[in-house]
């Protein structure tokens, strides 16, 4: 398990590091907000993001990042998919041996993080 979780943010803050050993609970507050409670019960992080395609996708990404880098220092939280890529039908394009993508995959982004004393 890594020592810190890293969220790549799109705002001026750019990234936030959260100590994994202090995480007590992760929960979805709304479709655009995820809350990370810390072990001391008095502090929390609120992560704001775009709406993911699957319910609780952000929470699942956080737990996956916690498990992903055993013995490491930093584990980056992966960004869930918002909409999948759209391949063109091979019979239409006439392409053989390759897939023509007509629309790329779009991923949710983490927009901000707020550290609060409760």
- For 14-41, how does the pLDDT look when each residue is reduced to its tens digit (9 = 90+)? 899 999 999 999 999 998 899 999 998 7
Query: DSSP for 15-63?
Result: EEEEEGGGEEEEEEEETTEEEEEETTSSEEEEEEEPPPSSTTHHHHHHH
The answer to whether residue 73 is domain-embedded is: yes
The answer to whether residue 93 is domain-embedded is: no
The answer to whether residue 8 is domain-embedded is: yes
The answer to whether residue 84 is domain-embedded is: no
The answer to whether residue 100 is domain-embedded is: no
- In the chain, the number of structural domains is 1
Q: Which domain holds residue 112?
A: 4-78+108-117
The answer to whether residue 49 is domain-embedded is: yes
The answer to whether residue 83 is domain-embedded is: no
Alpha-helical runs (H) found in 6-98 = 57-68, 90-93
d(CA 28, CA 51): 11
For residue range 52-79, list pLDDT tens digits in order: 767 888 999 999 999 988 888 999 998 8
């Amino acid at each position: 398990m890594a020592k810190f979780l890293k969220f790549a943010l799109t705002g001026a803050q750019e990234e936030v590091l959260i100590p994994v050993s202090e995480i007590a609970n992760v929960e979805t507050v709304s479709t655009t907000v995820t809350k990370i409670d810390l072990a001391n019960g008095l502090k929390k992080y609120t992560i704001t993001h775009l709406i993911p395609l699957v319910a609780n996708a952000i929470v699942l990404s956080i737990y996956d990042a916690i498990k992903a880098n055993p013995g490491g220092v930093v584990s980056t939280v992966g960004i869930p998919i918002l909409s999948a890529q759209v391949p063109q039908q091979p019979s239409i394009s006439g392409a053989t041996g390759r897939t023509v993508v007509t629309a790329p995959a779009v991923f949710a982004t983490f927009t901000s993080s707020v550290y609060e004393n409760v």
